[in-house]
Structure 1
Amino acid sequence: MNSRFDSFDSAFNVVFDAINQQCEAVTPPLKIREVGRIISVATGIAKVSGLPSIGFEELLIFPNGVYGIAFNVDADEIGVVLLGEYWHLRAGDEVQRTGRVMDVAVGEGLLGRVIDPLGRPLDSKGALVSSQRLPIERPVVPIMNRAPVSEPLQTGLKVIDSMIPIGRGQRELIMGDRQTGKTAIAIDTILNQKDQNVLCVYCAIGQRAASVAKTVSILAEKGALAYTVIVVTEGNDPPGLAYIAPYAATSIAEHFMEIGRDVLIVYDDLTQHARSYRELSLLLRRPPGREAFPGDIFYIHSRLLERATQLRDEDGGGSLTALPIIEIEAQNMSAYIPTNLISITDGQIYLSPSLFELGVLPAVDVGKSVSRVGGKAQRGTYRAVAGDLKLAYAQFEELEAFARFGARLDDDTRKVIAHGQRIRACLKQLECSPVAVPEQIVILLALTAGLFDPVSIEQMNAAEFAVQQAVAKIPLAVRTRFETADRLSDEDRQVILDLAHQTLESFLSKAPSSVGQS
């Protein structure tokens, strides 16, 4: 009897094991997952309950594929910054963890594309081609892996390249009142990187759609879109997207830097970035400080701009040059956010509304602008030509202000003022017309040698253009030494001056006789 029951039990166990194996093959093993619920939704933020194991800045997913970043991790609720259209979200909706932080697609497939900070294409050119993603927040390069800034980043703007030089790996702030040409300087710099082996990333933060479309059109028309990535958030986008935009753009740029490329990134502009962060912080009930900005407003910009650097050759030798743009009000350079950024960056280019109104374009106020890298970021030949230009221009501006009082001037003072007027005329430049280095060297050498002084102010544009056209007549060997030599030899200098003098002879007859060489 017992043997019969034993055989029955063994048969039952065999069948039971077979059924279990079939069930496991069909049904995957159960996984535990955390699910939260929305408590409330406001403009660009949400309060969420649950999710006890959530990490700071972890990415969350809401209904209909809306993402959010965990900003406030409190004991009883989580403050989440929303990164998409949140109007359909309701209290009680389910929230899930992703187990990762916010990241963005990087790689060569992004060149020539217009995307948002989430990596979604905005240009109707199809899906992005990318096999790698990087977190938008990354540790900065250690100081021991950085090299001194020594290679110039030519902007193509004579006033900047000669007196406020920018080096590869530098952070140069562009600041000025509204509508003074800040974006135009950044766009001209991008246009000038054509054939310079420099990739560009343009980050538009909270810009009007018309402004972004104009920028994209200019870059496409001039052939610059092929080496540029454009990251866009518009004014009606959620503030969370405007907040993460510069970090996402920097990760895209860092990928190229880490593979040994030189990269230029433009943040247009960080005023909107600071305002979006202030909006989010106030909605999340973080304590406000000066001008209602949160206490870490300095930190969000410093950790962003510290990512710009020049890497050592042992670490790839790439560079990331940052041109942050900031809008000031009523020429107040000492406001809260401008002073923060001035202290973070390696110099600033200040655009003056009064110069803009007088038609001095680009409206760079040389007296209030500075580059803390200076001549170290200039080629030797260029530095030798432009070395005394800033001093001569500063003397002219001081004497010009004095001459407005109607004082009688001696001949030497009149010559200094006349020479300064020619400097100002030469430094004027049309938008989207960068000037190459050889042309700048020839113009500046002729200018500092006083060859333009006998030319009337009315003829300066034509005279300068004639000198630019004459650069093609300079022997190729001399033009090559512009890029390679440490200084101009006396023979090369004489060749340039003779050519410039011959070119300007036709402009001398109508010049006023009182103007002489400085």
Structure 2
Amino acid sequence: MNQKYHSLETSGLEDVLGDVDRAVKQGVEHFLPELKTGEVGRVQSVGQGIAWVDGLGQVQFEEQVQVGTRVAGMVLDILPDRVGIVLFGSSESVCAGDEVRRSGRVLDVPVGNDLVGRVVDPLGRPLDGRGRPDVVDYRTVLHDAPRIMDRAPVVRPLQTGLKVVDALIPIGRGQRELILGDRQTGKTAVALDAMVNQKGKDVLCIYCAIGQRSSGTARVVDALARNGAMAYSVVVVVDADAPPGLQYIAPYAATAMGEHFMDTGRDVLIVYDDLTRHAVAYRQLSLLLRRPPGREAFPGDIFYVHSRLLERATHLREELGGGTLTALPIAETEAQNISAYIPTNLISITDGQIYLSPELFQKGVLPAVDVGKSVSRVGGKAQLPAYHKVAGALRLSYTQFQELESFARFGTRLDDLTRRTLEHGRRVRAVLRQPELLTMSAGEQIAVLFAVSKGLMDEVPEVRMQEAETAILESVTAGIPDIEEAITRAGDDDPVWDRLIQLISTAIGPFKEAYADAGDIGPQNPDRP
């Protein structure tokens, strides 16, 4: 019996092996080998974020490559005998002799709606502890700006919620407005106020942190989250410890993400914080690639690098969707030197600048915007008409005040006209102060600015200006329920202005009465400069 069962099992195994053998022979007979050719380079040397590679004779400029098994890179220099590649990972993970394989495509980045509300690096990899975003499409990181014929005039305002900016240095959708100043003068705060103020306005915001400390970036993300701005924002982060190649592509990658939404007809606001560190990263790459250094050791194409980036901010024609990309680049100055190389380049590229003065910052005038050194070359045409009622008088009175204030320090007694000008200027400066992240609507801004421009607040003590401003807002909101529609669209002869004067006068009445008890506060003291 055992021999019988053993013979049956043996014959079954032989049948199975025979089937396998026949299947293998049929597969071999029908197999047609396909020959594929491809370039494989070898790393000659590597160090400090740069790898020199040979064997890639057909590689494209700015093509994405794989260096070794774990590090991505981009071709940034092509020489007759070798190729210079910037690494997007640690140089310690690459060794001489490692293989370098081409991808066949120019560097691109994932784009799509799933990026909104996320914190990612320039390659689209998540940094917020959540899963990878769903990729809708890929967009080239470094591509040309829209053509001139594809652009439309800047005609719509981008409200920042800051009185001093919206009234005196207005920004339009599609404009490039530079924010510059010394360290710790509130440059990032101005940009964050602009982002927070876009809540409910259907504007997508992108914050690109370049070479910042992780703690500082974390505070920015926390501020955006606490104010509900992360719901319509994308944060692109590259730390100061990241390779210089990753810092170099960061603003371009963030712009590509924003352009995806702009092409669908949406309005996008992008903040580059900051381009001074971006220029330093590119200088480091260029020196390592042995390009000739120029002024301050920056390469000769540093102007082109930034203009290539900022020219992508625009307002597209209606035939192309009518989307806008508004850029707020940030630059850092040293010892208030706005004529330094990088700030000068950026000023000449952008459509205006907002200069933050360390002297005003030390005095507690926040935001510390120096109106005399700030300008907007486009935004006035896109400004709401009601601002024209107050902007010209405010700028003139504030400029006169700044000139007289420094002169008055050397005088003991001043004539009545000069004293009134100084007192009025102090009220203007007090009204332009605004706490961080407490933005105001256009109607509220115009109501307060109208009050101070007409001299209605000149008799209010400086120490009570904040109280008077709050009272004005409460009175105007109660007296004009549709304040936004009524004020922002009012013409010069609209009766709403007379109604506004009545409401303001009623609101600040109690503060005027307290003025007489203020003692040494006010223009009635002739010895006060």
TM-score tier by shorter-chain length is over 0.9
Which residue number in structure 2 is paired with residue 32 of structure 1? 37
Partner SS state of residue 397, structure 1: helix
- Pick which of 79-88 and 221-230 moved more: 79-88
Equivalent position amino acid for 2:458 in 1:
D
1:143 Cα shift?
0.8
1:481 Cα shift?
3.0
Partner SS state of residue 271, structure 1: helix
Deviations 1:305-344 (A, max 9, x none): 0000111112111101000000010100111111000000
1:477 Cα shift?
4.5
Which residue number in structure 1 is paired with residue 496 of structure 2? 492
Describe how 1:30-429 pairs up with structure 2 within 5 A.
30-429=35-434
Q: Could you say if the C-alpha distance between residues 454 and 260 of structure 1 is closer, same or farther in structure 2, counting changes exceeding 3 Å?
A: same
Q: Could you say if the C-alpha distance between residues 461 and 64 of structure 1 is closer, same or farther in structure 2, counting changes exceeding 3 Å?
A: same
- What is the alpha-carbon distance in structure 2 between the residues aligned to residue 414 and residue 137 of structure 1? 56
Q: Could you say if the C-alpha distance between residues 29 and 376 of structure 1 is closer, same or farther in structure 2, counting changes exceeding 3 Å?
A: same
Partner SS state of residue 267, structure 1: strand
5+ residue gaps, structure 1, are 1-17
Which residue number in structure 2 is paired with residue 448 of structure 1? 453
Partner SS state of residue 151, structure 1: coil
Partner SS state of residue 36, structure 2: coil
Instruction: Tell me the TM-score normalized by structure 2.
Output: 0.91
**From 480, 486, 503, the counterpart of 2:485:** 480
Equivalent position amino acid for 2:508 in 1:
L
- Pick which of 442-451 and 465-474 moved more: 465-474
Equivalent position amino acid for 1:334 in 2:
S
1:436 Cα shift?
1.0
Partner SS state of residue 69, structure 2: helix
1:187 Cα shift?
0.5
Partner SS state of residue 511, structure 1: helix
Which residue number in structure 1 is paired with residue 505 of structure 2? 501
Which residue number in structure 2 is paired with residue 22 of structure 1? 27
- Pick which of 461-470 and 239-248 moved more: 461-470
Which residue number in structure 1 is paired with residue 6 of structure 2? none
- What is the alpha-carbon distance in structure 1 between the residues aligned to residue 384 and residue 100 of structure 2? 56
1:129 Cα shift?
1.4
- What is the alpha-carbon distance in structure 1 between the residues aligned to residue 134 and residue 88 of structure 2? 22
- What is the alpha-carbon distance in structure 2 between the residues aligned to residue 127 and residue 464 of structure 1? 47
1:63 Cα shift?
2.1
1:475 Cα shift?
2.8
- Pick which of 211-220 and 48-57 moved more: 48-57
- Pick which of 211-220 and 61-70 moved more: 61-70
Deviations 1:349-387 (A, max 9, x none): 111111111111111111111111142121111222323
Deviations 1:453-493 (A, max 9, x none): 110011111111222233321334553133444x2544100
**Is the Cα–Cα contact under 8 Å of residues 478 and 492 in structure 1 kept in the other structure?**
no
1:24 Cα shift?
7.1
Partner SS state of residue 255, structure 1: helix
Percent same amino acid at aligned positions? 57
- What is the alpha-carbon distance in structure 2 between the residues aligned to residue 78 and residue 347 of structure 1? 39
Equivalent position amino acid for 2:500 in 1:
I
- What is the alpha-carbon distance in structure 2 between the residues aligned to residue 214 and residue 373 of structure 1? 32
- Pick which of 142-151 and 39-48 moved more: 142-151
1:72 Cα shift?
1.1
Q: Could you say if the C-alpha distance between residues 514 and 58 of structure 1 is closer, same or farther in structure 2, counting changes exceeding 3 Å?
A: closer
Equivalent position amino acid for 1:492 in 2:
V
1:200 Cα shift?
0.4
- Pick which of 301-310 and 375-384 moved more: 375-384
Q: Could you say if the C-alpha distance between residues 474 and 145 of structure 1 is closer, same or farther in structure 2, counting changes exceeding 3 Å?
A: farther
**Is the Cα–Cα contact under 8 Å of residues 264 and 321 in structure 1 kept in the other structure?**
yes
1:409 Cα shift?
1.2
1:431 aligned onto 2:436: yes
Q: Could you say if the C-alpha distance between residues 183 and 457 of structure 1 is closer, same or farther in structure 2, counting changes exceeding 3 Å?
A: same
1:245 Cα shift?
0.1
**Is the Cα–Cα contact under 8 Å of residues 164 and 369 in structure 1 kept in the other structure?**
yes
1:23 Cα shift?
3.1
1:470 aligned onto 2:475: yes
**From 455, 459, 464, the counterpart of 2:464:** 459
1:449 Cα shift?
1.3
Q: Could you say if the C-alpha distance between residues 480 and 33 of structure 1 is closer, same or farther in structure 2, counting changes exceeding 3 Å?
A: same
Partner SS state of residue 104, structure 1: strand
Equivalent position amino acid for 2:505 in 1:
H
**Is the Cα–Cα contact under 8 Å of residues 482 and 488 in structure 1 kept in the other structure?**
no
1:21 Cα shift?
7.5
Deviations 1:6-48 (A, max 9, x none): xxxxxxxxxxxx9998337556523111111110111000000
- Pick which of 92-101 and 384-393 moved more: 384-393
Partner SS state of residue 367, structure 1: helix
1:442 Cα shift?
0.5
- How large is the Cα RMSD of the aligned pairs? 1.7
- Pick which of 506-515 and 370-379 moved more: 506-515
Partner SS state of residue 322, structure 1: strand
**Is the Cα–Cα contact under 8 Å of residues 172 and 346 in structure 1 kept in the other structure?**
yes
- Pick which of 395-404 and 338-347 moved more: 395-404
Which residue number in structure 2 is paired with residue 11 of structure 1? none
- What is the alpha-carbon distance in structure 1 between the residues aligned to residue 37 and residue 29 of structure 2? 17
Q: Could you say if the C-alpha distance between residues 419 and 139 of structure 1 is closer, same or farther in structure 2, counting changes exceeding 3 Å?
A: same
Equivalent position amino acid for 2:507 in 1:
T
